[in-house]
């Protein structure tokens, strides 16, 4: 946006620490593509100033003094949807990270990141791109893997009691006929139950159903 106009992107800084604000302002004003138009330490102080200045980018610390950064971001984006929000955080937390992403913010940088990383993130935002700090990306993938590992347990609760009874017998390698005999069901009923298991768990083979059972044994 500002690139095309050859004008610096207008930046507003929200951070509870004065030294951090001063350092960031000095850094951004030292390069030609950014200009700091305002700063604040709290949500209450920041919102009227942000609405007045209508900055291109808001660099927002998650620990603003009188409200969470999450709430501040939501309020800013509700009033100024064209403004890009870049979160600055000193730690990683699953729920906070997901809440930050859910606000519609455009970037997330760890406070320990160097000046080059911050500038790269902000330049990405001026180009209409999003930016995740590499440390955040690694954490996000680790979190998604953790969630994926919990999915089988959640899937187990989708099955009816009768459908769950099939799983240990499938894991033992029994055929539909053998399962029917053991459970006192017809072959057709077992086949229908098995089709339900496949559908609910997004499986396609008996070996997958057996693996699912072994992975979710209490």
Mean predicted confidence (pLDDT) in 175-198: 91
By mean pLDDT, which of 45-54, 110-119, 136-145 is the weakest? 136-145
Helices (H) and strands (E) in the chain, counts: 11, 6
Mean predicted confidence (pLDDT) in 92-97: 66
Residue closest to 191 by CA, chosen among 172, 171, 209, 177? 177
**Bridge-based pairing state of the strands 131-132 and 84-89:** unpaired
Q: What is the pLDDT of residue 13?
A: 97
Mean predicted confidence (pLDDT) in 8-17: 95
Which percentage of the chain shows pLDDT scores above 70?
82
Sequence-ordered list of residues with C-beta below 8 angstroms from that of 49, at least 6 positions apart, any chain = 12, 38, 40
Q: What is the pLDDT of residue 209?
A: 83
For the residues of 167-190, what is the DSSP string, one character each? HHHHHTT--HHHHHHHHT--HHHH
Mean pLDDT for the chain overall: 83
Q: 118 or 150: whose pLDDT is higher?
A: 118
Structure token digits, residue 80: 């100024």
Q: What is the pLDDT of residue 34?
A: 97
Output the CA–CA distances (angstroms, integers) from residue 24 to 13, 94, 120, 153, in the order listed: 8, 26, 14, 46
State the Cα–Cα distance between residues 62 and 67, nearest whole angstrom: 9
Model confidence at 4, in pLDDT bands (50, 70, 90)? very low
């Amino acid at each position: 946006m500002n690139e095309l106009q050859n004008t610096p992107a207008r930046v507003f800084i929200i951070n509870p620490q004065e030294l951090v604000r001063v350092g960031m302002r000095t850094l951004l004003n030292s390069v030609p593509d950014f200009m700091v138009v305002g700063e604040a330490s709290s949500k209450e102080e920041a919102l009227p100033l942000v609405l007045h200045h209508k900055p291109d980018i808001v660099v927002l610390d998650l620990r603003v003094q009188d409200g969470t950064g999450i709430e501040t971001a939501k309020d800013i984006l509700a009033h100024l949807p064209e403004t890009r929000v870049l979160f600055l955080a000193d730690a990683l937390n699953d729920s906070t990270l997901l809440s930050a992403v859910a606000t519609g913010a455009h970037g997330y940088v760890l406070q320990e990141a160097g000046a080059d990383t911050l500038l790269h993130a902000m330049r990405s935002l001026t180009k209409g791109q999003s930016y995740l700090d590499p440390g955040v990306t690694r954490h996000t993938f680790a979190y998604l893997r953790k969630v994926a590992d919990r999915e089988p347990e959640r899937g187990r609760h989708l099955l009816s009691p009768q459908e769950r009874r099939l799983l240990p017998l499938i894991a033992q390698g029994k055929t539909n006929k053998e399962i029917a005999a053991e459970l006192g069901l017809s072959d057709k009923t077992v086949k229908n139950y098995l089709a339900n298991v496949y559908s609910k768990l997004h499986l396609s083979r008996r070996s997958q159903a057996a693996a699912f059972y072994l992975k979710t044994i209490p």
